């Protein structure tokens, strides 16, 4: 999560994951892998070895743009993917959607996004524009991840740890966990629970800050570019995506992001 979360939240989350029994090995890389009987032996660059029954390699994905070489399609040099305009058109009568295309976001500039929500909505819009709709792609897609039964987040916009961030945190309750959301809704796909979420009223009164032992139980992290909010992570805060989309849409330089955090009503019991 180093590319997404600010450093202090990475450290806190790592400790939470360790409590779940995960052995987190930092500052190390896999140098070699060999099969010994029915097991795999990983050699790390720190000199240690790990014996495993199975290995999952989570290194991301690269867009398959082989078609560009034979079809003379333009690729984006910075982000990769087929270069398209705001209507997802690569050139006359040719559209592209999903992970493989780099589009012009009318709010945030040129981007390439690798998330399920983006694939669904951009695919639908490309189909509409094929029939002459001529609509720009303005949808801000969301993505989410659960890092265990007690830690999860939903995000939208440009969430890059290289950007300046402002975090506003509150005291967490038993219902502020991914596990609690799944048990309450009987739905593990957060994109679906967000679609069915009811509007929330802004918080009023003086918020209760988390105690030292609670630290970052739940909160809102704002990502800024030129003092404007361009990304939001809702940390153990669920069913508030409509509020996040509205904040991004405003493109406002806020004097006090604590006041903006009240829109998410993270201090409710």
Q: Sketch the domain layout of the chain as residue ranges.
A: 7-52, 66-131, 143-263
Range from 170-174, 214-218, 238-242 carrying the lowest mean pLDDT: 214-218
Confidence class for position 33, pLDDT limits 50, 70, 90: very high
The reported pLDDT for the residue numbered 140 is 87
Radius of gyration of the chain (CA): 21
Backbone angles phi, psi at 13, to 5 degrees: -65, -40
Whole-angstrom distance, CA of residue 255 vs CA of residue 248:
15
Question: Taking the complete model, does pTM exceed 0.75, yes or no?
Answer: yes
pLDDT tens profile 65-102? 999 989 999 999 999 999 999 999 999 999 999 999 99
Q: Is residue 198 pLDDT above 70, yes or no?
A: no
Q: Is residue 255 pLDDT above 70, yes or no?
A: yes
**What's the CATH code, domain 66-131?**
3.50.50.60
Which of the 8 DSSP states describes residue 72? T
Right CATH for 143-263 from 3.30.390.30, 1.10.287.130, 3.30.360.10, 3.40.50.620: 3.30.390.30
Query: What phi-psi label fits residue 179: left (phi over 0), alpha (psi between -120 and 50 degrees) or beta?
Result: alpha
Confidence class for position 1, pLDDT limits 50, 70, 90: confident
Quick check: do 66-131 and 143-263 share a fold? Answer: no
């Amino acid at each position: 999560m180093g590319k997404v979360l600010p450093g202090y939240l990475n450290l806190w989350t790592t400790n939470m994951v360790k409590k779940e029994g995960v052995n987190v090995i930092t500052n190390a890389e896999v140098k070699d892998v060999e099969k010994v009987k029915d097991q795999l032996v990983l050699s790390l660059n720190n000199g240690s070895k790990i014996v495993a029954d199975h290995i999952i390699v989570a290194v991301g994905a690269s867009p398959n743009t082989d078609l560009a070489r034979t079809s003379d399609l333009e690729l984006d040099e910075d982000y990769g993917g087929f270069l398209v305009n705001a209507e997802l058109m690569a050139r006359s009568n040719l559209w592209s959607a999903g992970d493989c295309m780099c589009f012009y976001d009318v709010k945030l500039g040129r981007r390439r996004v690798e998330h399920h929500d983006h694939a669904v909505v951009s695919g639908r819009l490309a189909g509409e524009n094929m029939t002459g709709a001529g609509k720009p792609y303005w949808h801000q897609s969301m993505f989410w991840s659960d890092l265990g039964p007690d830690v999860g987040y939903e995000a939208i916009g440009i969430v890059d740890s290289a950007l300046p961030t402002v975090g506003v945190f509150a005291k967490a309750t038993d219902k502020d966990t991914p596990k609690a959301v799944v048990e309450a809704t009987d739905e593990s796909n957060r994109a679906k629970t967000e679609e069915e979420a009811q509007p929330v009223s802004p918080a009023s009164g003086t918020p209760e800050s988390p105690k030292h032992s609670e630290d970052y139980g739940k909160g809102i992290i704002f990502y800024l570019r030129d003092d404007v909010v361009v990304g939001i992570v809702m940390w153990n805060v669920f069913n508030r995506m409509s509020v996040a989309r509205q904040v991004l849409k405003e493109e406002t330089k806020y004097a006090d992001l604590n006041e903006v955090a009240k829109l998410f009503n993270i201090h409710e019991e």
